[in-house]
Structure 1
Amino acid sequence: MPRYTAVLYEDPESPGQWIAEFPALPQAHSFGRTPEEALAHAKEALELVLAFLKAEGKPFPPDVRVAEVGVDAA
Structure 2
Amino acid sequence: MRLVNYRILFREEPEGGYTVIVPALPGCVTFGETVDEAIAMAREAVEVYIESLREKGEEVPAEEGHLEYRLTVEVPG
Give me the TM-score of the superposition, normalised by structure 1. Answer: 0.79
The code of the aligned residue for 2:53 comes to: L
Q: Which amino acid aligns with 2:75?
A: A
Q: State which structure, 1 or 2, has the greater radius of gyration over its C-alpha atoms.
A: 2
Q: Percent identity?
A: 29
Secondary structure of 2:15's match? Answer: coil
Q: What 5-or-longer segments of structure 2 have no aligned partner?
A: none
More strand by share: 1
Aligned position for 1:56: 56
Q: Quote the residue 2:12 is aligned against.
A: 10
Higher relative contact order (CA 8 A, sep 6+): 1
Q: By how many angstroms is 1:66 displaced?
A: 3.8
Q: CA RMSD in A?
A: 1.7
For the residues of structure 2 that align with 1:69 and 1:58, how far apart are their CA atoms?
Answer: 33
The secondary structure found in structure 2 opposite 1:44 is helix
- 5+ residue gaps in structure 1? none
Structure-2 change in CA distance of 1:26 and 1:36 (3 Å): farther
Give the Cα separation in 2 of the matches to 1:16 and 1:67. Answer: 28
